[in-house]
A and B are shown apart, each in its own frame.
Chain A
């Protein structure tokens, strides 16, 4: 008598069948790393809300002018009621002190603010990655020197120096403002990447790559850096928000983007004198800055949770 008959089990194959089916299902459900992260991000409703807002904001700023064909710099004050107007259907965000349409100005101002925020972030992250990678990978005197430079930048009172630099070197174009903001936004990234490199360079896969003849540059940027991408992406997202705030502060005090170029900070600065008569001139660009920075922060925190490999599936 077969042992399986005695136990009342027909055969091993039949016994395993439900599990086999499940395995097939699991294989079919296997997702790529990116897909897992994306799915995990999608489950964070607040972060998705931030991302959706940012998509609409980008559409508004960059595609909006194609539909809303009003010249943002066209002054129009034949009547008193044309200026400092509250929102109407004709001017959804009202008009400023010389009758320019704030809806169109918020679009081009948003372009400037977003571009300045993102380009200064890219530049800052690039500098930070380079410095952090060199310091973490080579160590020794180079690490010591680069970290002392980082200490210096961290020790200066940030806004004071930003104002002084803007007065000295800025010509009020987005280009110089981007450069000045970027000079102070690389330190955190540099420290982050240095610590990632310090940990990663001791790992086996780096040793393996070195054994098969990979050079230092290849090791740093093809093998180690991709493994340190997670924290960099999170830092980069949060940095866009910080840099948009910095730009708005500089422009608000008249040290950043100069008129007639619009930026949200400059729009608030223009509205400041008319806050009694027309608070919309301050509120609308102010809320735009606030909502944008909030969204970048939410998306950044959502990415941090999604990219954390130690976080269990929720």
Chain B
């Protein structure tokens, strides 16, 4: 009921914000992109608030909610009462939410129950590991996907194209955890080429160069596994985008002027075909906060995904809540970025 009321009120707010942004637009009609970005941000704010209301309600509705976790059955009634005040548990849920939101906006997501340090400290420690894994996987996927997409568009209708199409189907039809398990089995158990878990080999003191090599060896498998889904999706995208562009008039003009086949492909076709891909990549990058969950869990990579699972097991609600809200924030933010980038890269796009 409370949720419904909040939804309705948020909806009203979002509409009035849109109205406000429309007035802004009237004020500065010549700044197309600027007003578009402002309006999109103003629309994203109520969306994010609604999402956080939803997450907060969900976390507090959970059976065995926060109260059961922080209260030790051996605590005396006095301690219990003091803790209720300390954590603000006597307030009604909407008030608790508003307090949480106020702190969250300043980057304070409370204290982790399990580690007794602030949530933001824990998150920032883990985020770098995730960013490393995710960043390399994305970079690798990008290079491979562009290459494969261009190759299969140039060789459209040939055996190479069909082979790559088949490979793409395999890539999207296999759950990522299976790739991870098969990879671990083949390269770790059978071939003994690569380590199957962790970030570094523990228990040895290595020289800096050896440590780096060791670290990179640990990185290869999770990175490959994580990049497969991206490669499958993006190379398809690249292929259809290239095929569309090769048909354009300016391509024929360029060829007629005597530009060589490779130069036409790279300077005229590829650059334009990359525009839609950039937006897709930006949207996929929005999953960074929660995206590598499965891979990190299987390869014991100490990032956000690993943290998520351990928090889930220990019912560490402040961390779960922070991760869910930050995850949504990243998704929304990168969706917005994707739309903006599209307009910047392709000036023909006009936003209204």
Residue of B nearest to A286 (CB): B178
Give every chain B residue within 8 A of A160 (Cβ-Cβ). Answer: 290, 293, 308, 323-324, 327
Cross-chain contact B51 with A144 (CB below 8 angstroms): no
Give bound CA distance, A253 to B320, whole Å.
17
**Is A145 interfacial (CB 8 A cutoff)?**
yes
Cβ-neighbour of A148 out of B14, B58, B62, B169 (below 8 A): B14
A163 touches B308 (CB 8 A): yes
A249 is an interface residue with CB less than 8 A from chain B: yes
Please name all residues of chain B whose beta carbon is closer than 8 Å to the beta carbon of A156 when the two chains form the complex: 51, 54-55, 324, 327-328, 331
Q: Does A245 contact B (CB under 8 A)?
A: yes
Whether B351 sits at the interface, judged by CB under 8 Å, is no
| B61, closest chain A residue (CB) | A168
Instruction: Name the interface residues of B179-224: CB closer than 8 Å to any CB of A.
Output: 181-182, 184-185, 189
Interface residue A207 (Cβ < 8 Å from any Cβ of B): no
- Contact, CB under 8 Å: B181 / A168: no
A268 to B179, CA, bound (A): 12
Judge if B20 is at the interface, Cβ distance under 8 Å: no
How far, in whole Å, are A245 and B174 apart by their CA atoms in the complex?
8
Q: What's the count of A-B pairs with C-beta under 8 Å?
A: 116
**Cβ-neighbour of B173 out of A154, A159, A294 (below 8 A):** A294
Partner pick for A152 among B54, B291, B294, CB 8 A cutoff: B54
Q: Which residue of A lies closest to B287 (CB)?
A: A157
Residues of B within 8 A of A151 (CB): 47
By the criterion CB–CB under 8 Å, are B332 and A155 in contact? yes
A275 to B186 CA separation, bound complex (whole angstroms):
11
Asked if B327 contacts A152 (CB within 8 A), the reply is no
B63 interface contact, C-beta 8 A: yes
Q: Is B15 an interface residue (CB 8 A)?
A: yes
A294 touches B170 (CB 8 A): yes
CB distance from B162 to the nearest CB of A (A): 10
Distance, CA A217 to CA B351, complexed state (A): 35
Could you say which of B174, B177, B189 has the most chain A C-beta atoms within 10 Å of its C-beta?
A: B177
Q: Contact: B169 with A298, CB < 8 Å?
A: yes
A249 → chain B closest CB, angstroms: 6
A249/B177 contact (C-beta < 8 A), A148-B11, A152-B51, A294-B170 known: yes
Most chain A beta-carbon contacts within 10 A, residue among B14, B59, B174, B178:
B178
Which A residues touch B181, using CB under 8 A? 268, 272, 275, 282, 286
Can you list, as one digit per residue, whether each of B138-171 has a CB less than 8 Å from chain A (1) or not (0)?
0000000000000000000000000000000110
For A159, the chain B residues whose CB sits under 8 A away are 290, 293-294
A245: chain B residues at CB < 8 Å are: 175
A241→B51 contact, CB < 8 A? no
For A275, the closest partner residue in chain B by CB is B185
Using a CB-CB cutoff of 8 Å, which residues 272-330 of chain B contact chain A? 287, 289-291, 293-294, 297, 308-309, 312, 320, 323-324, 327-328, 330
Pair B11/A168 contact, Cβ less than 8 Å: no
Instruction: Contact check, B185 vs A148: say whether CB atoms are below 8 A apart.
Output: no
CA distance A253 to B308 in the complex (A): 13
The residues of A that contact B63 with a CB separation of less than 8 Å are: 168-169
Partner of B47, one of A155, A168, A293: A155
Within 8 A of B (CB), among A186-228: none
Q: Is A56 among interface residues, defined by CB-CB distance under 8 A?
A: no
Q: Which residues in A have their C-beta under 8 angstroms from that of B189?
A: 275-276, 279
Taken together as a complex, chains A and B put the C-alpha atoms of A144 and B173 apart, in Å, by 34
CB distance from A98 to the nearest CB of B (A): 21
Say yes or no: B287 contacts A293, CB within 8 Å: no
Question: Is B50 located at the chain interface by the 8 A CB criterion?
Answer: yes
Measured between beta carbons, the chain B residues less than 8 angstroms from A286 are 178, 181-182
| B residues with CB within 8 A of A | 7, 11, 14-15, 47-48, 50-51, 54-55, 58-59, 61-63, 169-170, 172-178, 181-182, 184-185, 189, 287, 289-291, 293-294, 297, 308-309, 312, 320, 323-324, 327-328, 330-332
Q: A144-B15, A245-B175 are in contact. List 9 more A-B contacts (CB 8 A).
A: A149-B7, A157-B323, A161-B58, A163-B312, A164-B324, A252-B175, A279-B185, A283-B182, A297-B169
